[in-house]
Each structure stands twice: as C-alpha cells, then as structure tokens.
Chains A and B, each alone.
Chain A
Amino acid sequence: MPVIVRVPTPLHRLTSGQGEVRCDGASVAAILEDLERQYPGVKERICDANGKLRRFVNVFVNDEDIRFLQADQTPVKDGDEVSIIPAIAGG
C-alpha cells in the first residue's frame, strides 16, 4: 500500500482533477520526486528554484507539520498520509 498524498486545489489541474494521489518513497523528498514523475510540473510549483519547499507551502505527515519532524527528510511508510497545504489560513 503506497503513501497517500493530498494535493491542494491549485494543483488539481496537474493531477487530472484528483485531490488524493498515491506515491512511493521512503521520505517526504522521495515522495515529492515520485509525485513529479507521475504528474510532471508539480514539483516546480511547490519547490523553489533550489529545490527547497516554497515558504508558503506546508507539508504534513499524518497531521504533523514536517518542520517539527525532519523536514523533507522525514521518513514515511506505506499507508502514511502526506498533506500539502498552502500556509494561507489563520487569524
């Protein structure tokens, strides 16, 4: 069972309209690479020119912000959920 990745609305056009897709990989970075392989163009939207996650993109593994874990080196296993959410709400 692969990792479930929740994709934010602005990227649905790149994922054939799907809000949830399945990816393989042992870390968040590897998951993002696989996401790009399956849906070309996604990575340049969520990462900057240096390949770092953009500052307005938050990534959660099973509801925990990866900045509290090991950032993009956070390990993931089959069945985990990775959510990509714009840092937009609040107040």
Chain B
Amino acid sequence: MSYMLGLRCRECGRSYPKEVIFVCEYCFSSVEVEYDYDAIRKVLTREAIASRPKSLWRYRELLPIDGEPTVGLFSGFTPLVRAERLAGALGVDELYLKDDSVSHPTLSFKDRVVSVALTRAKELGFDTVACASTGNLANSVSALAARAGLSGYIFIPADLEQAKVVGSLIYKPTVVAVDGNYDEVNRLCAEIGAKFPWAFVNINIRPYYAEGSKTYGYEIAEQLGWRIPRHIVVPCAGGSLITKIAKAFRELVRLGLVEGRLPRLYAAQAQGCAPIVNTIRERGEIVRPVKPNTIAKSLAIGNPADGYFATSAVLDSGGWADSVSDEEIVLAMKLLAETEGIFTETAGGVTLGVAKKLIEEGRIPRDEPIVICITGNGYKTQEPILNRVGQTISIKANLASFETAFKQLVSNRLSNQEQACL
C-alpha cells in the first residue's frame, strides 16, 4: 500500500506525478513528496511503530516508496545517547547525542537517505545508481548498491580523505575523482545526469532520497519517549538534513504522535564554509555561495542547494546559527571522545563546537533539553587529528621496562599538575 500521492513544487505549489522529476518545470525549485496523511494517521500509531524492527523503515508510511522496502533493512535506529559527562563539561542539564556515527552499514547518516533512494530507484526501474559526494554519500551508495545488485558510479572531489576513497572502492563501484571541489563535481553531475540514464541519488531522484533524512527526526522523538526536545543542533552542508528534521517534527505533530512546541533548530557550519550560517545571521533571502576552505570536508559545500529552505527552517523555528574554526573543530572532536567515548568525524566536531558556542553565548539555555546531531564517524577523517591525539609510549616486552616508563609517566603528570597550579 502506498501513501505517496505525488510530487509538489516547494516554491509555486505545482503538482507532478511520482516519477523521475526533481525540479519544477516552471520555477526550477525542487519538488517534494506529498503523502496521504489522513490514511497514514489511521495506521501509523505509536504501538504499530514499536512492534516493528529497529530500522528506519519502522516509519515506512512516511517514506516515499510504493511497495515494500528492499534496501537498507538494517539502517537507522541509531542510539540516542544521554550525555551526562559532556553535559557537565558544557554546563547544561539535559543533553543527548543522536549518534549516526554507528549507522549500518557505512557509519554515517547517509545510509538513511541512500536506503530510501535505492529502494525507490529499483521501483522506478533503474539498474544503475550514481551520486556526487563529499565522501559519506559515496561510501553509502557504494555499499548499498553492492548489496542491492545495482551498478554504481561515484563522483568525488579528488582531494577527499583516503579512508573515504578506500571506503567506496572496496565495494567495486566505478569511482571518478574529479579535479575540482564538491560544487564543481555537483555541477558536472547535473550535466552528466541529463545525458546518462542513471538514478543520481542526490540529483534526479533527490525528492525521494531527501525524505530519508526525516527518520533522523522521527527517531529522536521516539527515543525520547515521544517527546520533542527544545533545541537541536544540526550540521549543514547542502541544507537538506535540517530542513527534513523540521519536516519530521511537523509531520509527527500533524499525525498526533507527539504534542507540544516544535524544536528550535540551530545550523552548524565551519568558518571556512558557512554560506547557510551567513544567510541566517543576516536574516537574508539570498544564499551567497562561497569557496570552501575547511578540514570539515563532508560539509564543504559552498553552493548549498537547500540553503534557502534551511534558512527558513531555522528562522521559522526560532533557532539560530554559528560557525567554528578548524581549531575549534579539532578541540570539539577531542572533547566528545574524551567525555562520551564517541569518535566523530570533523562534521561532528563542527556541530559540537557550534553547540558549545551557542550555549556559552546564551543562545541555547542551559536548563532545557538539547540534542546534538552526530552524523559521521571519526575513523574516516583521521588526517586532521593525526598530530593532535598524543603519542604511544614505547617499551620492551618486560615488566622492568614498563615500570620505568610508568614512573616517568607519573612524574610527568605531577610536574604538569604543578605547572598548572602555578
């Protein structure tokens, strides 16, 4: 049973059939999936959801497919971690981490959107899928296409982190490293997509793909015991995730699954690539593109396709936006690891760094529930922190060698403490 009615332009409201249409023929805005919410309300209860497997497909009626899910059956439903020690470090009362750094199968929130995109691509009759990616999407399309038996063409900027390149190649898609930044890859793919009969997950089947991000929001609400948190800090690249989290909470309220005020959303970007943050802080309408220069490569999109919608989502929610330096990103990655045992990628450092800043500035009150979105895994982006994580202690394989080293370690610590006291 399908609850998907069709597609609708997000700008001028024109309707389209649920086919491979990604842009309004009239005003060039993106189109969005429309659902039969009255029908969904009758079947999608808290009890029905609770009875289903712990994957993103437990919200299947709110996802854009006609038949049954076929890809990514184990993706989603990642932990919502109550972060007591980090809360102490930040001086806040109630803090949670939505931790997609352990998403199945490729350790980022992109498994959500790709599960939905590839299920839909198969329904639409495609045998080849493709993407333009900053790395995480490349990994996810490569892995899930392999399991689904689809051919994959992956387009990435040539300067990506090695782990993200290897993490695509292992699944044996065709990986094309483009001499250019992500925005150039993206533009190229828009032109390739017009000539080749492939499902470009983030281009021609983007309306379906993007809906997968809503599950990140549904899970936050469900895992809080069907509550809406007051504040959510979200990393922004193209601007789709934050827009879809806003939509997720609106839908849950509309369906009566949760009650109360919608959450305030905060956009987090790196200072070296902050077009959405700039627009929000100027309360502007036009998103001015930038040339990215940051260690947070997964967020390095200078020309965000959903920048306008992301800006509206944040300002409409009563939220705000901020950016952090590369140094602050590294410090936040270390803080998260040292307090909560979670190794996030640079994007997670951006999100935590911005959350810290917004709390210190008083933008986010210390006594209200806060969720920080951790969307990717640090094992993939080790380069920026290689020289920032201390060193191993080398010893011989005997007890005396360890005891000597241990004495040295203790005396170093004591003298560090003395210095700190002075």
Interface residues of A (CB under 8 A from B): 6, 8-10, 19, 45-46, 54-58, 60, 63, 65, 67-68, 83, 85-91
Interface-central residue, A19, A58, A86, A91, by most chain B CB under 10 Å:
A91
Which of A6, A19, A56 makes the CB contact (< 8 A) with B30?
A: A56
B170 within 8 A of A: no
- Of all chain A residues, which has the CB nearest B31? A88
Q: Which residues of A contact B374 (CB under 8 A)?
A: none
Q: Which residues of A contact B25 (CB under 8 A)?
A: 10
Do A86 and B23 touch (CB < 8 A)? yes
Do B28 and A56 touch (CB < 8 A)? yes
Q: Min CB distance, B169 to chain A, in Å?
A: 21
Q: Which residues of A contact B286 (CB under 8 A)?
A: 55
Interface-central residue, B11, B23, B113, B183, by most chain A CB under 10 Å:
B23
Query: What is the total of A-B residue contacts with beta carbons within 8 Å?
Result: 95
What interface size band does chain B fall in? 35 or more
Do A90 and B202 touch (CB < 8 A)? yes
- Of all chain A residues, which has the CB nearest B301? A90
- Of all chain A residues, which has the CB nearest B286? A55
Q: Which residues of A contact B183 (CB under 8 A)?
A: 65
Q: Which residues of B contact A88 (CB under 8 A)?
A: 22-23, 28, 30, 190, 203, 206, 305
Are A19 and B194 also in contact (CB < 8 A) when A89-B189, A89-B206 are? yes
B119 within 8 A of A: no
Are A87 and B305 also in contact (CB < 8 A) when A54-B28, A56-B29 are? yes
Chain B 265-303 near chain A by CB (<8 Å), digits 1 or 0: 000000000000000000001111101000000000101
Do B28 and A89 touch (CB < 8 A)? no
Instruction: Give A43 to B319 CA distance when docked, in angstroms.
Output: 37
Interface residues of B (CB under 8 A from A): 11, 22-30, 113, 132, 137, 183-184, 186-187, 189-191, 193-194, 200, 202-203, 206, 209-210, 237-241, 285-289, 291, 301, 303-306, 308
- Of all chain B residues, which has the CB nearest A68? B289
Are A45 and B26 also in contact (CB < 8 A) when A90-B202, A91-B137 are? yes
Do B137 and A10 touch (CB < 8 A)? no
Q: Which residues of A contact B200 (CB under 8 A)?
A: 89
Are A45 and B28 also in contact (CB < 8 A) when A55-B308, A65-B289, A88-B305 are? yes
Q: What are the 3 A-B residue pairs with the smallest beta carbon separation, nearest first?
A: A90-B238, A90-B305, A91-B238
Do A67 and B26 touch (CB < 8 A)? no
Do A58 and B30 touch (CB < 8 A)? no
Q: Which residues of B contact A85 (CB under 8 A)?
A: 187, 190-191
Q: Min CB distance, B327 to chain A, in Å?
A: 27
Q: Which residues of B contact A55 (CB under 8 A)?
A: 285-287, 308
Do B113 and A91 touch (CB < 8 A)? yes
Q: Which residues of A contact B26 (CB under 8 A)?
A: 45
Q: Which residues of A contact B303 (CB under 8 A)?
A: 58, 65, 87, 90
Q: Which residues of A contact B30 (CB under 8 A)?
A: 56, 88
Instruction: Give A45 to B26 CA distance when docked, in angstroms.
Output: 6
